[in-house]
Amino acid sequence: MKLRAALYCLLGGLPLTIPALGAGHFIWWWLSGILFAASFVPAALFGPRRISGQFGVIVPVFLIVTALCTWSEALIFVPGYGQRATGDLSGSALMYLIAAVVLALLASLLKLSKPGEPALPHRSFVSAVFLILLSGFAYLIYYLIFGSITYQFFTKGYYPEATQAVARLGLWFWGIQLARGVLMTLAVVPIIYTLRMKRWHAAIAVGSIIWICGGAGPLLLPNAFMGTTQRLIHTVEIFTQNFPLGVTAVLLLRSKSLPHEALPPAASAFTA
């Protein structure tokens, strides 16, 4: 199983080397892809057993957390990024779609699915909507606390115009961050409801996915806008924001474990 999981990561990282054909840095793109694939190993082992299910839990994370949310943040804070923003978003979305297909196929071909914990009962629809919004507000708090600390002590020199950019947006800036928190939570709802893992194990797995796909994976790559030190600082900063978001989302949306015999028959519907 360890060998098959390693193959899943190595082969699953290859689709993310597509940009290297024009931009170079093949090894860095592959390492980034391997890191992305590694974050989804828990989903391959204890998530949906069918290819369609695997694709269904991976693609929202790639398109929302990795492509859209990181793109929106760069659009606000990175000077000059707006000139290439549209092309970057469409190009990355296509690449991540391909990567999601490959990872879903690999999980099936390598027969990675394992028995896990029984499925947990889900919150009602109304409760889930409220808790997803609450998770978004939690992200807003994490962003305010850890983003402010990082900016004041580590990145202020890199973004001299950041204060003015936030001031220009006014309350819209905080609305954007709340929307990012809600969207990232929505992106991992399929994983939260299909992981056949204990509640806290699932929380750590989902927190890692949001951190890696929303920060550590993309920031591993050399780019024209950030140096190595700057990327490292942001990797740690995003961990303090995204990892707690994933943990919070799971703890809010997944009920505490019930005895196996008390679970309703429909509780395992999402794991097919």
Does 267 score more than 60 pLDDT?
no
DSSP 64: I
Domain count, the chain: 1
DSSP 49: S
Q: What percent of the chain has pLDDT over 70?
A: 90
| Least-confidence region, from 50-64, 82-96, 101-115 | 82-96
Where do we find the tokens 């890696």?
212
pTM: 0.89
Residue 73: the pLDDT is 86
Separation between Cα atoms, residue 186 and residue 99, nearest integer Å:
20
Residue 254 near residue 199, CB atoms below 8 Å = yes
The pLDDT mean for the chain works out to 89
Domain that holds residue 74: 2-271
- Alpha carbons within 13 A on the beta-carbon side of 169: 16
pLDDT in tens, 188-232: 999 999 999 999 999 999 999 999 999 999 999 988 888 999 999
* Better pLDDT: 146 or 117: 146
Does 124 score more than 50 pLDDT?
yes
